[in-house]
A and B are shown apart, each in its own frame.
Chain A
Amino acid sequence: MSLSDIRFMRRKVVLRVVSKILIPFILLFGLYVQWHGDFGPGGGFQAGVIFASAFILYALIFGVEQTRRAVPAWVTRSGLAVGVLLYAGVGVATLLLGENFLNYNALASDPIQGQHLGILLVELGVGITVCCAMITIFIAFAGRGRS
């Protein structure tokens, strides 16, 4: 679909209703992949892409302006930075606790719990940054020539 006929798409009731039904499930599935990344297939990168695809679907159906109202530029911009900082922050925390960078053992009294917590936070950082990057890239292309 070319982006120029988004206005046309707005009148397509079926697409609007179906995507509205789908979007919450896409988001939920994104969260599932995020939190189960350390037990099964998945992880921050995949989760971030899935989570972002919900916003991209929304943008395809309802237009870029509407999407920017849902996720303003400052949200995605901060998200990009927050994810990296969370990742690096976990590493710095382990440094301050006297272990090597990203040695999660230091994060809890029990090394296994430390590993769990560490990978969870790091993947969360990855997820946030990837999600915001995907949304930013999509909107940057789709919104070209508008502003």
Chain B
Amino acid sequence: MIEAHLPILQVIIPLIAAPVCVFLRHPLITWALATVISWVCLAISIMLLQQVQASGEIIYEIGGWAAPWGIEYRVDTLSAWVMVIVTSVGAVVTPYAKLSAEKEIDRDRLYIFYAMLLLCETGLLGITITGDAFNLFVFLEISSLSTYVLVSMGKDRRGLTAAYRYLIMGTLGATFYIIGVGLMYMMTGTLNIADLAKLIPDVAETRTVQAALAFLTVGLAIKLALFPLHLWLPNAYAFAPSVVTVFLAATATKVAVYALIRIVFTIFGGVDILESVEIRHVLAALAIAAMFAGSAVAIYQTNIKRMLAYSSLAQIGYMILGLSMNSVTGVTAGLVHLFNHAMMKGGLFMVMGCVVYRIGSAKLDDMAGLGKQMPVTMGAFVAGGLSLIGVPLSVGFISKWTLLQAAFEKGWWPVAALIVVSSLLAVIYIWRVVEVAYFREPAAGQVAVKEAPFLMLIPMLLLIGASFYFGIDGTSTLTVAGDAAKALIGGLK
């Protein structure tokens, strides 16, 4: 019986746990609850993925109202895959959060932190699972509003401005999205994604629907921080509490990418958008610009959290580039990079969380000599950095290799060259950190620090380990991403 209700449980379990945290209030108890819930969510998402792979799409009607009138939850390989990404990051972030959050967030607000973390996970999972374009907006707002709170929670006052800026941009993005949904509703009279996919092709040539597509794309591009709409991201990631950065970097932008995929491939999948609006070319151009701009700016950062944030912009570029190729291999590359990037960037931000926990700063100059003082942490940084560069045996290599294959298939040789060159930029910014941490002597007044505590090391090593485990044997991730890609491209005529 419970199997039938898994889709709704995936969303309401964290949703119910969040207000319960507000009642419990004790930091330790709320942390324990959040940890248990995040693991329950992981279990549910894995079960859902298995169910989908065994027996195809799962449809769940909320309130027993059939679509397109009621809201339905719809789980296919793609959404199950993204949910596994979100919940697995959630499951390693919550144990990690305990010490990191105690250090960086006021003790009497810790319970709100866990409540917001759970709400954010609710929103992200809701976006992924829902089959209704308006419901997606509601969950987008749930995740965004909780994210603004999370970003502003740290002791660093700059977090407040960063959160405010993110609020303005995020609200703009959400507004654009809802305008787009409104325009589609005007022409089709439906909000159900599957129903929209059926009805949109007939009215695709109208100005209204084309405007809708533009609004949806720009709105979601803000949410996923596609260059040049990324300005909110670096500060939000740099000044948020470390654990929040880990969670957001590994999940929030991924889910926005997912929403964009739903729009471009599912709703507008039946329309040959390449001919009517050159949206995929625009996306490809912006993605390549992001790959270079993100990496180039990352090289000049002195705050390493900010550096990694800029590197995220470049990585988002790779995902969008893969999607814009509009081929099975290209989309597979984009989708597999969703997971791979979540693992390595989550791991790298966890490293920075450990560094901040010990030295109280994320500045490059303060990290001198850390290679000896925190060998495990900095070793993890090197490993994660190698993965980011795309060295063989790491997940970064799998992503980039698939992406290169897709570019070759298309005959886009210059693009393939650009992918390789932009990867080399990653070498530079990772090396800067390695050089300071391993080869520079600590400054005279610098206090020697110990290795980070186990409770933080283990989640960090799990993510970094995963970014090599799935790099050595990428078949499982590539198979799922490939299945999802085939289903998406199959939706095209």
Contact = CB atoms under 8 A, between A and B. Distances in A.
Given A95-B5, A100-B8, A85 B16 contact: yes
A101 B5 contact: yes
A98 B1 contact: yes
A100 B22 contact: no
A102 interface: yes
Given A78-B23, A95-B5, A101-B5, A88 B16 contact: yes
A103 B19 contact: no
B22 A80 contact: yes
Interface in B11-44: 12, 15-16, 18-20, 22-23
B12 A84 contact: no
B62 A102 contact: yes
Nearest to B4: A100
Most buried by A among B8, B18, B19: B19
Main secondary structure of the interface of B (DSSP, over half): helix
A98 B64 CA distance: 11
Nearest to B63: A102
Contacts of B8: 91, 95, 100-101
Contacts, number: 48
A78 B60 CA distance: 31
B12 A88 contact: yes
B16 to A, nearest CB: 5
A22 interface: no
A19 to B, nearest CB: 31
Contacts of A81: 19-20, 22-23
B238 to A, nearest CB: 26
Interface in A64-97: 77-78, 80-82, 84-85, 88-89, 91-92, 95
Nearest to A104: B63
A141 B8 CA distance: 36
A100 B60 contact: yes
Interface of B: 1, 5, 8, 12, 15-16, 18-20, 22-23, 60-64
Given A84-B18, A95-B5, A101-B5, 9 more contacts: A82-B19, A84-B16, A84-B19, A92-B12, A92-B16, A99-B64, A100-B5, A101-B63, A103-B64
